[in-house]
A and B are shown apart, each in its own frame.
Chain A
Amino acid sequence: MIRHRLLAAFAVATASTLLVSGCGRAESPGQTGGAAAGLSDGPATGTVTIWAQGTEGEALQDFVKPFEEANPDVQVEVTAVPWDSAQNKYQTAIAGGTTPDIGMLGSDWMPGFRSALTPVPESIDTSDVFPFALESTEFDGASYAVPWYVETRVIFYRTDLLKEAGFDDFPTDWAGLKDLAKAYQDETGAEFGISLPSGGWNAFLSNLPFAWSNGAEVINEDQTEWTLDSPQMVESLSYLNSFFEEGLADKSPDTESGSASADLVSGDVPMFLSGPWDIPGLELAGGEGFEDKFGVATIPAGPDGTSTSFAAGSNLGVFKDAENPDAAWKLIQWLSQPDVQAQWFETVNDLPAQQAAWDDEALTADPRVAVFGEQLQSVKIAPTLVSWTQVSAAADTQIEQVFRGGKSVEDALAELQSTADSLGTGQ
C-alpha cells in the first residue's frame, strides 16, 4: 500500500519535471463549475466534516446537535481551526486533496478558493441573504458558497465624553466628525480625537468607508477597470490626511489588537472604527459599568455621497474533494435558517447573513446591534478579484507614504492607479 503511494508520489515528481518543458496555459481558464447538483430527498446521512475557525469552531459541535437529532443517521465532525494561518491550512489542504466537506471561508478568500469549490445547489434558498454577502460568492454567474455571518465597520465612541465635548448627537457628516474630534481633544483632554489606521496591513481597506461615503469607487461596476484616482477618492484621502496633519489622529498608532479599545476605555482616543466583535471587546476591556459609556454610530457621509461602510463575513462552501456533499449542503441549509441564525448570534455574537433573522428579539434588543443592522443596509465589499489582495497591499503602502511620509494624495493615488492597472483585473 505504502509502496504504491510512494510510486504515485514519484510519478507526480517526474511529471512536474516535464512541466517545465511541455505545457501551457489554455486560452480560457476553463474552470467551468458544471451544473449545480440537486440535493437528494430525505434526511442527511453519513459523516459530514467541517472546519471552522476560532470561537465558531469551538461552539459549533454542540450547536449542531439539533441537526443531528433531526437527521439520526448523520454525524457532524467539527474541527476547530486557529484563525492564525487558517488560510494557509485550507490552501495546503486543497493542494494535497485533503479538504473537509465544508470550509468556513472568509468572504475575502473567495476569489482564491472558488476554483476548489462546488457551486451551490439551486434548492438552497439564498433569496433573503444580504445582497452584498451573496456578491462575494458569485463568479461568472454561479454562486460558490453560502454566506454564514456578516460584519461591517461603524464608529465606536465615548457617549459620556460626547456630552462633555458639547455634542448631543453623534455627527452624520464629515464636518461634524472633525468638529467632534477637535472637541474631544480640546474639551475632554483626549490625546487624539480619533484613531485611524495610518499604514500597514489593510490600512487602505479600513479607511475605505470614508471613500465610499463620498461616492468614490475602487473599481467599476463590472470589475474591469480600477478607479482608484477619482476626484472623490482624492477628496476622501485628503480629508483623512487632515486628521493626521492637524494632530487629531496619531500618525503611528499601535496596531496591536486591543490597543484601540484600551485607548477608548482610558479616554485617550475616544473614537475608532471597528466591527461587531468590539462590543464584547470593549465591555471586557472597560470592566464593570463601562457598557453604558460607549456607543456606536454609522459612518458620517461625505459631501458627495451617503453613509456607506465596508462589509465582510464568512461563507460556508463545499469543496470539490468533499466525500459527502449531499449531507454537507443539507447542514449548510440548516445553518442558514433564520431561526438557527438568530440562535447562532446568541451563541457566538455573529451577525446573521439571513435578513429575516434580524427580526428576532435576540437582535432587536440591543440598540448597538441595531446600528450595525442599519449600517448593513448601505455597505460595499472588497472587489472579488484575485489581484485585489495585491492592489490592496500596494494601496496600504501608498497611503502610509501619504499619512506618515508626507507624500501628496494625488501622486500616491496616481501611482496606485498605475500599479493596479498593471496588476489587472483578471480572474
Chain B
Amino acid sequence: MTVLTRAVAPAALPRSAGHGPAAARRRRTAVVAYLFSLPFIASFAIFMVFPLISSLGMSFTDFRSTDIPTPFAVAFVGLDQYTALFQNEQFVRSMVNTLYFVGVGIPLTMAVALALAVALNGAITRFRTVFRVGFYAPVVTSIVAVAVVWRFILQPDGLLNTLLAAIGITGPDWLGSTAWSMPSMILMAVWRNMGTLMIIFLAGLQGIPQEVVEAAEVDGAGAWQRFVRVTLPMLRPTLLLGAVLLSVGYLQFFEEPFVMTKGGPLDSTLSISYFTFNQFGFGNYGTASAASYVLFVAIALLSIVQFRAFRTKE
C-alpha cells in the first residue's frame, strides 16, 4: 500500500542524457533487461531458430516427404513455389475462404465477447460466477468432443433445425450446403473463442477507473455515450490485444473444418491452413512451407493494420 501513496507524488522526471551516473544506470538497466529477456531469447535460440530457418529454406526448394532421409539432395527452385501457389485455383479459393472467415468472424467474436464482458462487469451483480464460467466453458472443451456435439446440432435432423421447425422455418443442411457451411464454421468459432476474449476484456475493463466513468455520468452522459466515449477509448490496448490474438488464431483457422467438413462441400470451407495441411499430407513440403509463409505475411500485415488502428493517441 505504501507504493500507492507514493505513486501520486512524482509527475514527470527530468531526464539527463549523456554520461555520468545516468549513463551508468542506463547500462545497468540494459544488463538487467537482457537478464529479464533471457528466457525468451534462449528459448527462441534453442527451439525456434532452426525450425524457422529450415522451413523458410524449404519453401524455396522442391522438398518432398521422401527427401526426409536425405534432406540436402533437393533442388533450389527460387520463388517457383510461391508463383505456383498464386496460380493454384484451390489456394486462391482457400485465401478467399480464409478472408471470409476472418472478415466476419473477428468482428463478430469481438462484439459478442465485448458485450458479454461489459454486461458481466457492470450490468449485473448476482450470479456473476455462474455466467462467467458458463460463457467460458466452450473454450475448455477439446475439439474432438466439440465435433461430436456440434454434429448433433447441425445435422439436417439435428437440434438447430428442430428448433427452427418449431417456429416454422425449414432449416438448411448446415454442413452439406456450400452457402451455409462457412456460416456454420463461424458460428462454432465464435462459440469456442468468445470466452477467451471475454476474460481478456474483463481484465481490461477492470483497469478502467470507476471514477472516470462516474465523472462522465455526473456530466450527464448516457449509458451508450459513456461506453463509446469513455470505456472504448480506455479499452484500446485490450482491444488491440484481443484483435491481434484473434487474427493470429483465425487466420490459421483449421480445426473446425478439419473435424466437421474436411474442407468441403466443394472446398467451401477450405482454409489456407487446411490447404497447407493437405500439401504436407501429399508430401509437398516445399509447397506447404511456401503457403505457410504466405499466411505468415497475411497475419503480420493484418496485425500491423491493427496496431495502427488501435494505437493510443498520446
Partners in one complex: yes
Q: Is B183 an interface residue (CB 8 A)?
A: no
Q: Is A70 an interface residue (CB 8 A)?
A: no
Of the residues B57, B69, B73, contact of A16 by C-beta under 8 Å: B57
Task: Using A20-B76, A23-B72 as known contacts, say yes or no to A400 and B265 having CB atoms under 8 A apart.
Answer: yes
A19 to B289, CA, bound (A): 15
Complex contact A112–B283 (CB within 8 A): yes
Complex contact B74–A256 (CB within 8 A): no
Task: Determine the chain A residues whose CB is within 8 A of the CB of B135 once the complex forms.
Answer: none
Complex contact A26–B73 (CB within 8 A): yes
Complex contact B264–A389 (CB within 8 A): no
Distance between A116 CB and nearest chain B CB, rounded to angstroms: 6
Q: Is B278 an interface residue (CB 8 A)?
A: yes
Q: Is B155 an interface residue (CB 8 A)?
A: yes
Task: Determine the chain A residues whose CB is within 8 A of the CB of B282 once the complex forms.
Answer: 387, 389-390, 393
Task: Using A252-B177, A389-B282 as known contacts, say yes or no to A115 and B68 having CB atoms under 8 A apart.
Answer: yes
Q: Which of A6-14, A141-149, A288-296, A345-353 contacts B (4 or more CB under 8 A)?
A: A6-14
Tell me how many residues of B have a C-beta within 8 Å of chain A: 39
Complex contact A200–B283 (CB within 8 A): no
A12 to B50, CA, bound (A): 8
When each residue 390-407 of chain A gets 1 if its CB lies under 8 Å from chain B and 0 otherwise, what string results?
100100010011001100
**Which residue numbers of A lie inside 8 Å of B, CB to CB?**
6, 9-10, 12-13, 15-17, 19-21, 23-26, 29-31, 87, 91, 94-95, 112, 115-116, 199-201, 252, 254-256, 320, 386-387, 389-390, 393, 397, 400-401, 404-405, 427
A229 to B283, CA, bound (A): 25
Task: Using A13-B50, A386-B64, A390-B282 as known contacts, say yes or no to A19 and B155 having CB atoms under 8 A apart.
Answer: no
Task: Using A9-B50, A16-B57, A199-B265 as known contacts, say yes or no to A24 and B75 having CB atoms under 8 A apart.
Answer: yes
A200 to B156, CA, bound (A): 18
Q: Is B266 an interface residue (CB 8 A)?
A: yes
Q: Can you list 25 A-B pairs, Cβ within 8 angstroms, ordered by A?
A: A6-B46, A16-B50, A19-B54, A19-B71, A19-B74, A24-B75, A25-B74, A25-B75, A31-B66, A94-B69, A95-B68, A199-B264, A199-B266, A200-B262, A201-B262, A252-B173, A252-B265, A386-B64, A386-B65, A386-B66, A389-B282, A390-B284, A397-B90, A400-B265, A427-B66
Complex contact A20–B69 (CB within 8 A): no
Q: Is B103 an interface residue (CB 8 A)?
A: no
Distance between B252 CB and nearest chain A CB, rounded to angstroms: 17
Interface centre among B68, B156, B173, B281 (most CB of A within 10 A): B68
Complex contact A116–B151 (CB within 8 A): no
Chain A, residue nearest B76 (CB): A20
Chain B, residue nearest A23 (CB): B72
Chain A, residue nearest B78 (CB): A20
Task: Determine the chain B residues whose CB is within 8 A of the CB of A31 once the complex forms.
Answer: 66
Distance between A197 CB and nearest chain B CB, rounded to angstroms: 11
Complex contact A19–B61 (CB within 8 A): yes
Secondary structure at chain A's binding surface: helix, strand, loop or mixed? helix
**Which residue numbers of B lie inside 8 Å of A, CB to CB?**
46, 49-50, 53-54, 57, 60-62, 64-66, 68-76, 90, 151, 155-156, 173, 176-177, 261-262, 264-267, 278, 281-284
Task: Using A23-B73, A201-B262 as known contacts, say yes or no to A112 and B66 having CB atoms under 8 A apart.
Answer: yes
A315 to B90, CA, bound (A): 33
A393 to B263, CA, bound (A): 12
Complex contact B74–A397 (CB within 8 A): no
Task: Determine the chain A residues whose CB is within 8 A of the CB of B265 once the complex forms.
Answer: 199-200, 252, 400, 404
A120 to B65, CA, bound (A): 22
Task: Determine the chain B residues whose CB is within 8 A of the CB of A389 once the complex forms.
Answer: 281-283
Complex contact A254–B155 (CB within 8 A): yes
Task: Determine the chain B residues whose CB is within 8 A of the CB of A95 once the complex forms.
Answer: 68
Task: Determine the chain B residues whose CB is within 8 A of the CB of A116 once the complex forms.
Answer: 68-69
Task: Determine the chain A residues whose CB is within 8 A of the CB of B151 once the complex forms.
Answer: 254, 256
Distance between B282 CB and nearest chain A CB, rounded to angstroms: 4
A25 to B70, CA, bound (A): 10
Interface centre among A16, A201, A255, A387 (most CB of B within 10 A): A16
Of the residues B60, B66, B75, B262, contact of A115 by C-beta under 8 Å: B66
Distance between B56 CB and nearest chain A CB, rounded to angstroms: 9
Task: Given A91-B65, A404-B265, output 4 extra A-B contacts at Cβ < 8 Å.
Answer: A30-B70, A200-B262, A256-B151, A401-B266
Chain A, residue nearest B176 (CB): A252
Complex contact A30–B68 (CB within 8 A): no
Task: Determine the chain A residues whose CB is within 8 A of the CB of B266 once the complex forms.
Answer: 199, 397, 400-401, 404-405
Complex contact B65–A112 (CB within 8 A): yes
A425 to B284, CA, bound (A): 15
Distance between A86 CB and nearest chain B CB, rounded to angstroms: 13
A94 to B255, CA, bound (A): 25
Distance between A32 CB and nearest chain B CB, rounded to angstroms: 12
Of the residues A9, A19, A393, contact of B72 by C-beta under 8 Å: A19
Distance between A405 CB and nearest chain B CB, rounded to angstroms: 6
Distance between A382 CB and nearest chain B CB, rounded to angstroms: 14
Complex contact A115–B49 (CB within 8 A): no
Chain B, residue nearest A95 (CB): B68
Distance between A1 CB and nearest chain B CB, rounded to angstroms: 15
A26 to B54, CA, bound (A): 20
Task: Determine the chain B residues whose CB is within 8 A of the CB of A112 once the complex forms.
Answer: 65-66, 283
Complex contact B262–A13 (CB within 8 A): no
Distance between A31 CB and nearest chain B CB, rounded to angstroms: 8
Complex contact A17–B57 (CB within 8 A): yes
Task: Determine the chain A residues whose CB is within 8 A of the CB of B49 once the complex forms.
Answer: 13
A397 to B267, CA, bound (A): 8
Task: Determine the chain A residues whose CB is within 8 A of the CB of B74 once the complex forms.
Answer: 19, 23-25
Distance between A294 CB and nearest chain B CB, rounded to angstroms: 23
Interface centre among A6, A19, A95, A199 (most CB of B within 10 A): A19
A390 to B49, CA, bound (A): 31
A52 to B54, CA, bound (A): 31
Complex contact A320–B69 (CB within 8 A): yes
Task: Using A254-B155, A389-B283 as known contacts, say yes or no to A25 and B50 having CB atoms under 8 A apart.
Answer: no
Task: Determine the chain B residues whose CB is within 8 A of the CB of A19 once the complex forms.
Answer: 54, 57, 61, 71-72, 74
